[in-house]
């Protein structure tokens, strides 16, 4: 080929790259206008020193600048439907990675108050998460139809005493979808890899609903990595906690709803399945999260609940364990809490008045107070 043709070809390729970059920038600006959270800095863990503690090393994370979070201004940011693009499409993994790399290239960093979305690459997956505070790591594990936004009250309310980390599990929020073969054991392994990426060797685990079952499975696989367990409004799997007919009814409902439009799923589930008595603001907040559900994640998380029975391993839990329940929880009633309390030796059972299944959102102050009382009890001496 003639040299002139080569130059023309190279010039066209360069122009095509510039056009693609311009398109990505237009999309980024559109997201930023539609959703305040899209304009927040996106950083990755290791390059910015966002690591937890290794054994014998007090855990904290570090950024270049520190200031007190502006809690009053956070709520509108959190309920904005943080994971929609300009055409109401969920971000694909390549777009997630492009935004992370663009932020790194621009050298941006910011104070971590829990409102920023960060990203980690774990075993080929993109895992989104939020973090706030300093101290011993406290890892928050959400339920299905939820993501890290459901922990807003804990990221702002527990960060004074702990380094709080809330992930979007694979198949939820801004994280990529898992393979169709994913089981609760695979999620636990992903969680282990995620904590490795953040440099967290050992942590307190707080799991709600499906996240509580995940915490149990993580303990089964990695008991030495767990300090305290807080299991909130959870199950020993549906299979281990509910009658068989109820399990199959729930499975069928979730499989059906996973293929329905988002607005239909919101109408079906919010607020009655989550709260005892939700204010309009709380219902709106939850609706924004549920509307961003991943069909794959919804279906696989429901399948893992239906197929899992952790009852045999409950008696092996030898870490201080708090069972924290909403008194009006209809998804996982108090009878389930009492069964688990009897099975986990030395566990505590505390009940939150006026709360339903997602008690951390419905009664965040009571929830946080009970978690802090449990974790900060100076007489506790977790097994080494």
316: closest CA among 239, 223, 381, 191? 223
Residue 212 has pLDDT above 90, yes or no: yes
Question: Which pLDDT score, from 0 to 100, does residue 253 have?
Answer: 98
- As given in the structure block, the two tokens for residue 309 are 């029975």
In a domain, 317, yes or no: yes
Sort strands 321-326 and 348-352 into parallel, antiparallel or unpaired. parallel
Give the CA-trace dihedral at 132, 291, 38, 78, to 10 degrees: -40
Count: domains in the chain:
1
The conformation of residue 203, written as its DSSP 8-state character, comes to: E
The whole-angstrom separation of Cα 91 and Cα 119 is 13
In a domain, 320, yes or no: yes
- CATH number, domain at 199? 3.40.50.1820
In a domain, 384, yes or no: no
Burial of 97 (0-12, 13-18, 19+ CB in 10 A): middle
Q: Read off the pLDDT of residues 12-24 as tens digits, 9 standing for 90 and up.
A: 666 655 554 554 4
Q: Which domain holds residue 214?
A: 3-375
The whole-angstrom separation of Cα 384 and Cα 223 is 10
In a domain, 382, yes or no: no
Q: Read off the pLDDT of residues 148-202 as tens digits, 9 standing for 90 and up.
A: 999 999 999 999 999 999 999 999 999 999 999 999 999 999 999 999 999 999 9
- As given in the structure block, the two tokens for residue 157 are 């309310």
Can you give the pTM of this predicted structure? 0.75
Cβ atoms 310, 337 nearer than 8 A:
no
CA angle 277, 336, 235 (to 5 degrees): 90
Cβ atoms 116, 152 nearer than 8 A:
no
Band the pLDDT of 377: cuts 50, 70, 90: confident
Question: Which pLDDT score, from 0 to 100, does residue 115 have?
Answer: 79
Question: Which pLDDT score, from 0 to 100, does residue 183 have?
Answer: 98
The whole-angstrom separation of Cα 194 and Cα 287 is 28
In a domain, 383, yes or no: no
Q: Which of 24-38, 86-100, 135-149, 186-200 has the lowest mean pLDDT?
A: 24-38
Give the neighbor-by-neighbor strand order of the sheet with 321-326.
Answer: 118-122, 125-132, 162-167, 136-141, 203-208, 226-232, 321-326, 348-352
The beta-strand segments (E) located in the chain are 118-122, 125-132, 136-141, 162-167, 203-208, 226-232, 321-326, 348-352
343: closest CA among 328, 371, 321? 321
Residue 306 has pLDDT above 70, yes or no: yes
In a domain, 365, yes or no: yes
Question: Which pLDDT score, from 0 to 100, does residue 62 have?
Answer: 30
**Letter string b/e over residues 192-209, b meaning 16 or more CB atoms within 10 A of that residue's CB:** bbbbebbbbbbbbbbbbb
Question: Which pLDDT score, from 0 to 100, does residue 2 have?
Answer: 52
**Helices 295-307 and 210-221: angle between axes, nearest 10 degrees:** 60
Q: Which helix (H) or strand (E) holds 153?
A: helix 152-157
For 218-285, give the DSSP string: HHHH-GGGEEEEEEES--SHHHHHS-HHHHHHHHHHHHHHTTS-HHHHHHHHTTTTT-SS--HHHHHH
Counting every residue written for the chain, the total comes to: 384
Question: Which pLDDT score, from 0 to 100, does residue 215 have?
Answer: 99
- As given in the structure block, the two tokens for residue 336 are 């389930």
């Amino acid at each position: 080929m003639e040299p002139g043709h080569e130059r023309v070809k190279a010039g066209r390729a360069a122009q095509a790259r510039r056009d693609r970059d311009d398109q990505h920038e237009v999309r980024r600006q559109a997201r930023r206008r539609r959703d305040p959270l899209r304009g927040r800095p996106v950083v990755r863990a290791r390059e910015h020193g966002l690591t937890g503690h290794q054994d014998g090393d007090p855990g904290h994370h570090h950024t270049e600048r520190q200031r007190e979070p502006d809690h009053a201004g956070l709520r509108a940011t959190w309920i904005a439907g943080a994971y929609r693009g300009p055409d109401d499409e969920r971000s694909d993994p390549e777009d997630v990675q492009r935004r992370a790399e663009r932020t790194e290239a621009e050298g941006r960093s910011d104070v971590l108050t829990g409102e920023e979305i960060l990203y980690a690459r774990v075993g080929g997956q993109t895992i989104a998460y939020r973090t706030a505070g300093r101290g011993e790591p406290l890892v928050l594990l959400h339920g299905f139809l939820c993501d890290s936004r459901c922990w807003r009250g804990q990221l702002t309310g527990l960060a004074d005493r702990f380094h709080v980390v809330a992930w979007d599990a694979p198949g939820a929020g801004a994280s990529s979808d898992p393979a169709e073969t994913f089981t609760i054991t695979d999620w636990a392994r992903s969680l282990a890899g995620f904590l490795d990426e953040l440099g967290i060797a050992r942590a307190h685990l707080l799991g709600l609903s499906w996240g509580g079952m995940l915490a149990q499975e993580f303990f089964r696989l990695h008991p030495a990595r767990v300090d305290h367990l807080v299991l909130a409004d959870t199950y020993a799997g549906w299979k281990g906690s509910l009658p068989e007919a109820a399990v199959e009814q729930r499975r069928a409902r979730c499989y059906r709803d996973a293929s329905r439009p988002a607005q239909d799923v919101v109408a079906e589930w919010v607020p009655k399945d989550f709260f005892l008595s939700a204010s309009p603001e709380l219902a709106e907040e939850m609706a924004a999260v549920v509307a961003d559900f991943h069909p794959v994640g919804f279906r696989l998380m429901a399948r893992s609940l239906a197929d899992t029975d952790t009852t045999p391993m409950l008696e092996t839990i030898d870490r201080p364990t708090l069972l924290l329940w909403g008194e009006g929880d209809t998804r996982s009633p108090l009878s389930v809490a009492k069964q688990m309390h009897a099975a986990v030796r030395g566990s505590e059972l505390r009940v939150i008045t006026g709360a339903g299944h997602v008690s951390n959102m419905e009664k965040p102050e009571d929830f946080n107070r009970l978690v802090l009382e449990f974790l900060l009890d100076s007489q506790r001496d977790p097994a080494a």
